[in-house]
Amino acid sequence: MLIVILAVFLLAGAVKGVVGMGLPTVAMGLLATTMPPADAAAILLIPSFATNVWQLLAGPSFFGLCKRLSTMMIGIFIGTVSGAGLIAGAHSTAALAALGVALVLYAALGLLSKRFEVRPAQEPWLSPLVGVVTGLITGATGVFVIPAVPYLQALQLEKNDLIQALGLSFTISTMALAAGLLLQGVFEASTSLLGLSLLALVPALLGMFAGQHLRERMSVETFRRVFLIGLLLLGLYLTFEGLFSS
């Protein structure tokens, strides 16, 4: 199991290094095939937090984005803590199916190259709504991307601002997920999860480093399409596994 965890985070880190995101999605998707989703989410926390804080602080618009997206971040935190009972409770098969659906939706939107545009007048009411929905999905599945990523892309931010905004969203999601799992007693049930999470940081960082170098040698669009097809198949598998497992 330890070898599986290290290999998963090496791969997930490489994906993030190439496309700038995807570490939680890949890690949760693969780990959930071998362990309860709550345990997978707990192991994810430290690698996700460390890599996303780095991404958040690397850009020039930290304070401006925090102000603009503040209601979305509050919604993410509230929704994630509120929804954490599903992934940590007795309904782990439902959480597995929900994770599969989230992966399918994310992959399908990416493959269809769907682009939306949010007007400034819509942000005051849409940002907190998107935040709460993202939080509920994060709390139930451990995946941070739906609908936060399509929404942030729809804001028509500059490239560096978008990368930084994604880092902000993922960082808040990670912190809220940690709080939700703590309130649900996940770490009390298995204190070794935090140790595994700290250990997983090493391959995640190595994978990011390798992915950044790989990005310079290949077409990111080709890699992105293969990555999304893989997520689609994995999501379908997890959905059926969660729905039909006893």
Residue range 126-142: mean pLDDT, rounded: 92
- At 206-218, the pLDDT tens digits run 998 898 888 778 7
Residue range 224-229: mean pLDDT, rounded: 82
Helices then strands (H, E): number in the chain?
12, 0
Q: Is the pLDDT of residue 72 over 90?
A: yes
Half-sphere exposure of 116 (CA within 13 A, CB side): 14
Helix (H) or strand (E) holding 246: none
Tracing tokens 């097809």 back to the chain, one arrives at 229
Residue 90: what pLDDT? 54
d(CA 217, CA 211) in angstroms, rounded, equals 10
Half-sphere exposure of 100 (CA within 13 A, CB side): 20
Helix, strand, or coil (residue 5): helix
Residue range 2-11: mean pLDDT, rounded: 94
Residue 43: what pLDDT? 92
Residue range 170-176: mean pLDDT, rounded: 94
Residue range 63-77: mean pLDDT, rounded: 96
Residue 188: what pLDDT? 67
More confident residue, 93 or 161: 161
d(CA 52, CA 31) in angstroms, rounded, equals 20
d(CA 89, CA 95) in angstroms, rounded, equals 9
Q: Are the C-beta atoms of 153 and 162 separated by less than 8 Å?
A: yes
R_g (Cα) of the chain, nearest Å: 17
- At 77-106, the pLDDT tens digits run 999 999 888 776 656 677 778 878 888 988
Which of 90, 107, 101, 185 lies closest to 136 in space, CA to CA? 101
Residue 77: what pLDDT? 97
Residue 189: what pLDDT? 57
d(CA 43, CA 34) in angstroms, rounded, equals 13
Q: Is the pLDDT of residue 227 over 90?
A: no
Q: Is the pLDDT of residue 226 over 70?
A: yes
Residue range 17-39: mean pLDDT, rounded: 83
Residue range 178-190: mean pLDDT, rounded: 79
Residue 79: what pLDDT? 95
Average pLDDT, the chain: 86
Tracing tokens 């999501």 back to the chain, one arrives at 235
DSSP string, 148-162: HHHHHHHTT--HHHH
- Two tokens, residue 140: 């139930």
Q: Are the C-beta atoms of 224 and 110 separated by less than 8 Å?
A: yes
How much of the chain exceeds pLDDT 90, in percent? 35
Residue range 172-185: mean pLDDT, rounded: 90
